[in-house]
Amino acid sequence: MSYTGPGFDPPRPPRSRRRPLTVALAALVPGALLGWAVYAAVGGPGDEEGQAGVSASASASARTPSPSAGSASPSGGPGDGKPDASSPASAPGPSGPLRGKVVVIDPGHNPGNFRHAGEINRQVDIGTNRKECDTTGTSTNDGYTEAEFTLDVAHRMRTLLEKQGATVKLTQDADRPFGPCVDERARIGNKAEADAVVSIHADGSGTGNRGFHVILPGAVNAGAADTRPVVGPSRELGERIAGTFVRVTGSAPSNYVGGGTGLVTREDLGGLNLSTVPKVFIECGNMRDSKDAALLSSGAWRQKAARGISGGIVSFLRGQGSAH
């Protein structure tokens, strides 16, 4: 979700894929993230929304994937665990531990945003101040876009969570020209009275910056924003997602934000500020680092990412019992 600045590069010609990093990790004490013990074994040569977002420029261009979960996605194809895409909302499964629970998945950045610079640059109220409606997102140096990545992971998560009996809604499924804006993304989760909302992203930080981090809402009470009732449950949701994500994917927490915890608290994101239900963001890795990019571009790894995030949601909702 971080961007490279006003000179955001258009997708570059594909390069050969590199072998992904394999990282083994243990240890989340139930209900709280107390520490990480990371041991890495590198399988290849060489070794956020970040600190400054960028608006779309009229000259930006990118490939536009179809609403299908896997169109134009690297490393796709038979055997990569890729589910079929369907409509943005799903009916609850016939049975399962999450029957009666509502999960909203927010795939960051519509793939059509590149063609609608004026619309997504429009300022919207996020409580603390005003920000752009949305941005284009980032991409790997090979041209695999964040918007493609987030939709693919969202589709995989939807399949997994439906099997647990949950009702799953997507804020967008490449089924609209652009957006929704960040304020509307928050309203979708609020209107659904979601038990949990997760916004899926990939970062665009500098080379050598690696790993994932989960963004938690800070305590905001300004204008239309009042996160105080959901700060606690959102932190629990984020901690559980971080714990399962590191265990399932083998990816380490970010080495550039969060102090090695994989958790970052922010008060400047409209999607969190305006939420009245438990919500977090996850930056699954850094698209601008070649090794993280190799993971994010892998269909098999995206399935692990979907399992890790979904597993954290399941753990959180089962721990909530009949709450919400």
**Model pLDDT for residues 275-295, shown as the tens digit of each residue:** 999 999 999 999 999 999 999
Q: 235 pLDDT exceeds 70? A: yes
What pLDDT is stored for residue 1 in this prediction? 60
Percent of the chain with pLDDT over 90: 69
What pLDDT is stored for residue 321 in this prediction? 55
What pLDDT is stored for residue 292 in this prediction? 98
Encode pLDDT of 37-68 as tens digits. 333 332 333 333 333 333 333 333 333 343 33
Residue position matching structure tokens 């500098």: 206
Marked catalytic residue, from 49, 146, 162, 283: 283
CA-based nearest residue to 233, from 158, 298, 316: 316
What pLDDT is stored for residue 11 in this prediction? 40
Which residues, 6+ apart, have CB-to-CB distance to 17 below 8 Å? Answer: 74, 75, 294, 297, 298
Q: 316 pLDDT exceeds 80? A: yes
Residue position matching structure tokens 């601008």: 288
What pLDDT is stored for residue 229 in this prediction? 98
What pLDDT is stored for residue 15 in this prediction? 42
Please tell me whether residue 265 adopts helix, strand or coil conformation: strand
What pLDDT is stored for residue 320 in this prediction? 77
Which of 80-89, 98-107, 298-307 has the weakest average pLDDT?
80-89
User: Which two three-digit tokens encode residue 287?
Assistant: 């698209």
Q: Which is it for strands 37-41 and 102-107: parallel, antiparallel or unpaired? A: unpaired
Residue position matching structure tokens 């960040």: 182
Say how many residues make up the chain.
324
Domains belonging to the chain, first-starting first, are 22-49+86-320 (3.40.630.40)
Report pTM: 0.75
- Tell me the pLDDT of the chain averaged across its residues: 80
| Omega cis (within 30) before 180 | yes
Q: Which is it for strands 130-132 and 123-125: parallel, antiparallel or unpaired? A: antiparallel
Which residues, 6+ apart, have CB-to-CB distance to 321 below 8 Å? Answer: none
Q: 238 pLDDT exceeds 90? A: yes
At 74, the pLDDT band (50, 70, 90 cuts) reads low
Which residues on neighbouring strands pair with residue 266, listed in sequence order? Answer: 217
The secondary structure of residue 246, as a DSSP letter, is: H
Residue position matching structure tokens 């949950």: 166
What pLDDT is stored for residue 157 in this prediction? 98
Look up 283 and say whether it is catalytic: yes
Encode pLDDT of 183-221 as tens digits. 999 999 999 999 999 999 999 999 999 999 999 999 999
Q: Which residue has the higher pLDDT, 320 or 128?
A: 128
What pLDDT is stored for residue 123 in this prediction? 98
Encode pLDDT of 246-256 as tens digits. 999 999 999 99
What pLDDT is stored for residue 95 in this prediction? 81
